[in-house]
Structure 1
Amino acid sequence: MQTSTQLSEIYTSEAGAVYQCDRRNRLLVQFSGELVELKLDTFLRLKKAVDSINLEQMAVNPHRSSDFEIISVCGCDRCFVLTLPELHDFKELLSEARFMMELNSMLHECFSSQLA
């Protein structure tokens, strides 16, 4: 027996994509050639961790240790090791995906209230 997984595209950019899998109730984040499956709360923790990184401070810091950032969140089995340009792209990807999820939720609420 073979089942196909239905993925809905949430947001796509040159850097990656975020998809929603309704069957498994997960988000799939494609970035740097890898695909990571996350629950919604883990996605939000990851976004919060990435948002907390000060890219400007990282850019002006002369120490070699500031050339990359290691990001790990509870509920995600992947550890992200990202350079400044990768962090910029990843931050944008996660932010835009979150915005699209909020927009879809608002539209769903508006349409549902009009039908009721």
Structure 2
Amino acid sequence: MICPLANVEEVFKTEVGAVYQCSRKNCYWLEFQDTTTSFSVSDFLLFKKRIDSIDIENMLCDSSRSSDFEIVMPFRTERCFLLSVEDILNLREILDGAKFMIEFNGQMKSFLRRGAVFAF
């Protein structure tokens, strides 16, 4: 659960999860698998990199039972994710969308600071 005192804005949301930005604590909140996990900005990016590095092709081709799931323990959290291939793909979609929106918002703020005029 997100702290009730936090000032959060939705960054990106799908049917299975969402990422919120907290300007009060300068962090991101990930809602996924019926839990909420807080990440510092750098830890959020490291977590995304870790999820992106999971070899899904190997998981699908390996017939051993141990390859059916991936266990991911994000740095500086008490959370442990047990992820199936479908979970990994869903999580990648959420994290990719959130990263895109974060970068897009940064670019928009940069344009606005420079006084760029948009003609429609």
Report the TM-score when normalising by structure 2.
0.88
1:8 and 2:9 correspond? yes
Q: Which residue of 2 aligns with 1:65?
A: 66
1:29 and 2:30 correspond? yes
Q: Which residue of 1 aligns with 2:40?
A: 39
SS of the aligned residue for 2:114 comes to helix
How large is the RMSD of aligned CA atoms in angstroms? 1.4
Return 5+ residue gaps in structure 2 as ranges. Answer: none
Residues 42-78 of structure 1 deviation map (CA, whole Å, 9 limit, x = unaligned): 1011101000001122112111101000112322221
Runs (4 or more) in structure 1 with deviation over 6 Å come to none
Return 5+ residue gaps in structure 1 as ranges. Answer: none
> Letter of the aligned partner of 1:83 in structure 2?
S
Residues 78-100 of structure 1 deviation map (CA, whole Å, 9 limit, x = unaligned): 11111111111011111111111
Q: Which residue of 2 aligns with 1:97?
A: 98
SS of the aligned residue for 1:38 comes to strand
Contact 1:42 1:76 in 2 (8 A): no
SS of the aligned residue for 1:86 comes to helix
Between the aligned partners of 2:77 and 2:45, the Cα distance in structure 1 is: 11
Quote how far apart the aligned CAs of 1:5 are: 2.4
Contact 1:58 1:84 in 2 (8 A): yes
User: Which of the two has greater helix per residue?
Assistant: 1
Q: How many residues align?
A: 113
Q: Which residue of 1 aligns with 2:85?
A: 84
Report the TM-score when normalising by structure 1.
0.91
Between 69-78 and 21-30, the greater mean CA deviation after superposition:
69-78
